[in-house]
Structure 1
């Protein structure tokens, strides 16, 4: 009876855990991607401000194709510095420096710089880049192969992320008035990072989140399982205690019924039987006056009727034999009061020898309550008690053609006098059902294992 809720909990728990893991993995993956980009942006800003800006020749802002030879020496010197300090690692893949008017004034890939200068191309700065040039900050976007400068970086690399920021040119330690004049000009610094590198970093960050999530969910499931096991044990103990108390109450009730039935049988029944015999003997005595004989016959008949009713009541209080072989006789005694109520009652028992004695006792208890309700409340004209057993399943049906009732119209349809027995039937692995409708009578059906 408790396995089904446990199984449902486990299924729901597993599905919930899976949903949490999937959901947190999605969120962690997004967070890891954002963190990988944030690291690249921070690296770009650090390179621009701390490494490139102090070494960048301010006069390069005047670089054109026609004066490329003039700036050859500072350009080569700066390029060597960049190669030594920045590009000996996998990140960044390439750096560019652009002037405010969109001219490429330095590229760590000199062929890109020369091609751009030869074509007199300028970069059309977008709003985000102009904002970074004017106010500072960092921007990022996926390299666009349709742009010549991006195509050179992205070709054969599996994609690039272009991150840009600004720095301001400085004159360094030079006292040259021309260099002093070129200082303080903002330029746009770009760094290209391979998507594969960022993906690898994202995976590293995500792995940390994954184990944290898995550990948290595992701990939660462990605690929930321990709690469920504890609650299940408490529920089993409570159920066992309730069943014990119910059986104790039924046993006590049976003992009290036996005592009452024994006392009535040994006293009142014997007295009534003796009185009935005595009255009948006096009525048959030839010396008894004729007018008294008729009165004595009526008294004898009344005594015998009362004795029969009392014996039926004793059978209802406690049957003479609750063993399987005695079930048909016990049920016949049980329906005896139906005749007094004007109800035509019948009993049919098949396979009594195949059922266990405790199941026969259960059949009698359920039939007793159903028959009592039918006689007292149904207003029926017929009542049928049917028992069928085939060695495996045992079925009891008590059917009347009375007024019936609407189960939906009462507060508790299971309070049809069978509530206490319902638990016993369920604990025995069976079912107890009450079917009724206004004007259609009532059927009480019990089905349980025969053994």
Structure 2
């Protein structure tokens, strides 16, 4: 299946199908051209035959179907038209449709009323035709005159049996000139397109690899910053907060100073809480399935400062692997960050649901929304930049939003 999906195979199949379609179309056009040529040749030949027959000066006795007149005229007519090849039957009709002469003797004396086209031809000097495909004939007719000026209808039928061979001749000449170069062109274009596709695929993979390297480097830097802050500033502030609280409780501390110390301790504890939320956003300490709920809770903690009521619900996260958990958290991080900074929402809900088949993340806000098809500013990847990483983790991501309708970020990963 992977071989069938390769770009070279796809381009080759498309090229072959295109080539076959062109060959079949060419053959059909050649058949039509051969038929048109046969009809054109017949309509050119019939007036010449009409001139030959008219020069024989058809007598009144032949028009009246006298037996002796038919025999005499037949001998002379056959000598005159002997050199003309290609026609099947030549007949002469009176105005009432009766056949007064034919190279097929069984038709002489027979006939039926002329149709509208034949009557129009008898009244003019034009040459008309009818294509009788069921009988493989093209039937032409033109007007001639008897010796006394009586208008007669000359009918000449030509076989279409040579049309197929003529079609093959036309197709063969076209094939020699066009089909060979066309096949070569299809092969060259297929190879060029497959080469370009491979280059684009390699470039795409290289971009994804560089993006992954950048994310890994950023992740390592975030981890280092979080560790340094936690082991340094956070510990110092925590120690200072404990010291202030202890000093506030000292019996010898003046009453006026207790209020100031209480305020300072409360500010330090609030600052520690905000700093821990910032550390969780920079890099969560326990990014594994069991710790996902706590990491998401820390992630949404800053929403309160933006007057956004945030909620987190996690069920079935244990079915996800550690890399899949990391992908879920990264998408949630970007979605929550965008909601807090840009959505102007009043509520924000982060939900994770999982089972033995898949784990799904959904981040929903009731904010101002945006046009998902609008171009992003250059250099800003956001959720779009995470799509390839989500795909690499076996997942799918969708962003649904419109102006005034809030935003929903949905991600699924198949459990392996």
Same-fold status (TM-score > 0.5): yes
| Structure 2 gap segments, 5+ residues each | 111-117
* Mapped partners of 2:216, 2:322: distance in 1: 15
Aligned pairs for 1:251-262 (under 5 A) are 251-262=216-227
Pairwise CA distance, 1:320? 0.8
* Mapped partners of 1:346, 1:353: distance in 2: 20
TM-score, with structure 2 as normaliser:
0.70
The answer on whether the counterparts of 2:304 and 2:310 sit within 8 Å (CA) in structure 1 is yes
Aligned pairs for 1:40-439 (under 5 A) are 40-43=42-45, 64=61, 78=76, 81-82=79-80, 85-86=82-83, 91-95=86-90, 139-142=127-130, 161-162=139-140, 192-194=156-158, 197-198=159-160, 200-208=161-169, 212=174, 215=179, 219=183, 225-226=190-191, 228-380=193-345, 382-400=347-365, 402=366, 404-408=367-371, 411=374, 417-426=382-391, 428-435=394-401, 438=404
* Mapped partners of 1:431, 1:382: distance in 2: 22
Report the counterpart of residue 34 of structure 2 in structure 1: 32
CA deviation digits over 1:12-56, x for unaligned, max 9? 99998898778666654443222112333455567788xx69xx9
CA deviation digits over 1:90-114, x for unaligned, max 9? x434556899xxxx9986567888x
Inter-CA distance 420–76: structure 2 relative to 1 (3 Å threshold): closer
**Range 260-269 or range 3-12, more displaced:** 3-12
The answer on whether the counterparts of 2:93 and 2:100 sit within 8 Å (CA) in structure 1 is yes
Aligned length in residues = 394
Determine helix, strand or coil for the equivalent of 2:368.
Answer: coil
TM-score, with structure 1 as normaliser:
0.65
After superposition, the CA RMSD in angstroms is 5.3
Determine helix, strand or coil for the equivalent of 1:418.
Answer: helix
Determine helix, strand or coil for the equivalent of 2:205.
Answer: helix
Bigger Rg, structure 1 or 2: 1
Determine helix, strand or coil for the equivalent of 2:338.
Answer: helix
| Structure 1 gap segments, 5+ residues each | 117-124, 133-137, 145-156, 170-184
The answer on whether the counterparts of 1:98 and 1:106 sit within 8 Å (CA) in structure 2 is yes
CA deviation digits over 1:207-245, x for unaligned, max 9? 445675894898476666555544543443343233223
Pairwise CA distance, 1:407? 3.5
The answer on whether the counterparts of 1:129 and 1:139 sit within 8 Å (CA) in structure 2 is no
